[in-house]
Amino acid sequence: MPADHTPVDGPHRIHVRRTPTGVELDSSHRIGSLLIALARDFAEDPSAHTMALAGLDRSVHHQGGDSHATHERDALVDGLLDRWGGGSQLIYGKQVGALATALLAAGQVAIVPAQQDRRTA
């Protein structure tokens, strides 16, 4: 497998890269789309979502993880994600198999030559 493989090319690209300890799944294209949606909403009304979200997040840090502010913040995030297309990424048709193949290929353990020498010794 190439060092960088793109088994999913749309509607949002997913890149798969082998790392020394596993696999890197790059969903930057999808996250970029969400950031653009956030920027558009912010341009329309700078105080509507981002200021409320920032305020709730500050409250969470002061009140703790199981506070009313946490639940309110998480509900706001869920609502914004729903508005912008959700946090999930759909993968269609042949891209499902291509992604699975790329992940399995990238996740295979490679034997480093030094380890190979120890095995045969």
Q: How many domains does the chain have?
A: 1
pLDDT of residue 59: 92
Instruction: Answer yes or no: is 78 within a domain.
Output: no
Instruction: Answer yes or no: is 118 within a domain.
Output: yes
Six-digit token string for 96: 């499902």
Instruction: Answer yes or no: is 106 within a domain.
Output: yes
Residues 14-50: tens digit of each pLDDT? 889 888 888 888 999 988 988 888 888 878 877 677 7
pTM of structure: 0.64
Distance CA 69, CA 3 (A): 43
Instruction: Answer yes or no: is 21 within a domain.
Output: yes
Instruction: Answer yes or no: is 84 within a domain.
Output: no
Distance CA 10, CA 5 (A): 14
Classify residue 22 as exposed, middle or buried by CB count within 10 Å of its CB (0-12, 13-18, 19+).
exposed
Instruction: Answer yes or no: is 16 within a domain.
Output: yes
Instruction: Answer yes or no: is 81 within a domain.
Output: no
Instruction: Give the list of residues 6+ apart from residue 9 with CB closer than 8 angstroms, or none.
Output: 95
Residue 86 pLDDT > 70, yes or no?
yes
Distance CA 72, CA 58 (A): 12
- Domain coverage including residue 22: 1-27+89-121
Residues 39-80: tens digit of each pLDDT? 888 788 776 777 888 888 899 988 977 888 899 989 988 988
Instruction: Answer yes or no: is 62 within a domain.
Output: no
